[in-house]
Amino acid sequence: MKQKWVTFFSMFALFVLLAVPQMVSAIDEDNVRAMLNTLNDRLAAAGKNVEVDYVDFITKDEIGIRVYRKDHELQLDSHWFPYDPWRWGAREIFWLIEDVDQTSDVPWADARAALGRAMNTWNTVPCATIPLVQWDDYDMDWGIVQYYYWGSYPGQHGGSDSWYADLTHAGWLPRDFFDSIAPPNGGDNILGVTFTFTWNAYPNRVAFREIYYNDDFTWGIDDASKIDIETVSLHEVGHGLSLGHNGMIFRDAGKGSLRFAPRAVMNAIYYDIQHSLLTTDVGAFCSVWSSWPNN
């Protein structure tokens, strides 16, 4: 099924790359691509009917990027398929918050509430009624990537050998996890990451997505001196809903400060606290979801 919005997002990605030649990401794409291929090999060996298609990073002090598992797939994208018989046959997108891998920087109830607010912000954009529906995590340590990739053998550092929800907030993991998925030093700047998995039989159809947060940073709630949970989650959930990075980012030649054209939640770098979607975010969301479930 051809998606009319692919060209729209490809142009935004091009704008970002052209606008920030002096702010090249420290993430090595070849290393990330090797990680994705290794993860897919392990999934295939385990008999799973999914593979990871691409991964999105939001970073601090560097430009976040999207990395596809193969170079020739840069022109492709993946989206949820309504009433997908491989995905519960539902029009809803089901999501959950895992309670095992918690941040200790704020009370967990406050962290959960921030994640919930981020989900609700996207769920209440007027142009679309998906809806996004929360599921219980059943006290499970969810996380396919955590299970199959992190460590020398499956499950060494927890996670799960399967998935449950469509979109899983899989928790806060140590820096070592982020170094392993973006070697050698991805943990230096990666704040959050979203993995997109597709069905082997339907390569452009999303099976599920997983979001992880870097516990090496100090997280907070409405505290400008810390990394704001709701802001990062709002961005990562945007990826979870098939949005890419957008807007131009450049550094002021005189003051050295960052400038955005336009400012958006989906800018490819964490800058400050942002809990509301801006015009570009809403436009991108509506271009993907306004025809759901008939697209």
Whole-number pLDDT of residue 6? 37
Q: CA of 60: how far to CAs of 54, 106, 200, 253, 258, in Å?
A: 20, 20, 33, 20, 12
Who's near 23: CB < 8 A, 6+ residues apart?
Answer: 62, 63, 249, 250, 251
The string of pLDDT tens digits covering residues 173-206 is: 999 999 999 999 999 999 999 999 999 999 889 9
Q: Please give the average per-residue pLDDT across 208-234, as a whole number.
A: 98
Q: Are 57 and 190 in contact (CB under 8 A)?
A: yes
- Residue 99 pLDDT > 70, yes or no? yes
In order, the DSSP letters of 75-92 are: T---B--TT-TTTTT-SS
Q: Please give the average per-residue pLDDT across 138-142, as a whole number.
A: 97
Residue 200's φ and ψ, nearest 5 degrees, are: -55, -40
Whole-number pLDDT of residue 14? 34
pTM of the model: 0.89
Whole-number pLDDT of residue 17? 34
Q: Which position has the token pair 């996004």?
A: 132
Q: Kindly provide the b/e burial profile for residues 43-82, where b requires at least 16 CB atoms within 10 angstroms of the residue's own CB.
A: beeeebebbbbbbbbbbbebbbbbbbbeeeeeebbbbbbb
Q: Rounded distance, CA 214 to CA 289, Å?
A: 29
The string of pLDDT tens digits covering residues 126-135 is: 999 999 999 9
Q: Rounded distance, CA 213 to CA 231, Å?
A: 12
Domains of the chain: 6-289 (3.40.390.10)
On the question of a cis peptide bond just before residue 183, with omega within 30 degrees of 0, the verdict is no
> Helices 279-289 & 229-240, crossing angle to 10 degrees?
30
- Residue 92 pLDDT > 80, yes or no? yes
Residues forming a β-bridge with 198:
51, 206
Q: Rounded distance, CA 276 to CA 274, Å?
A: 6
**First-to-final CA distance of the chain:** 9
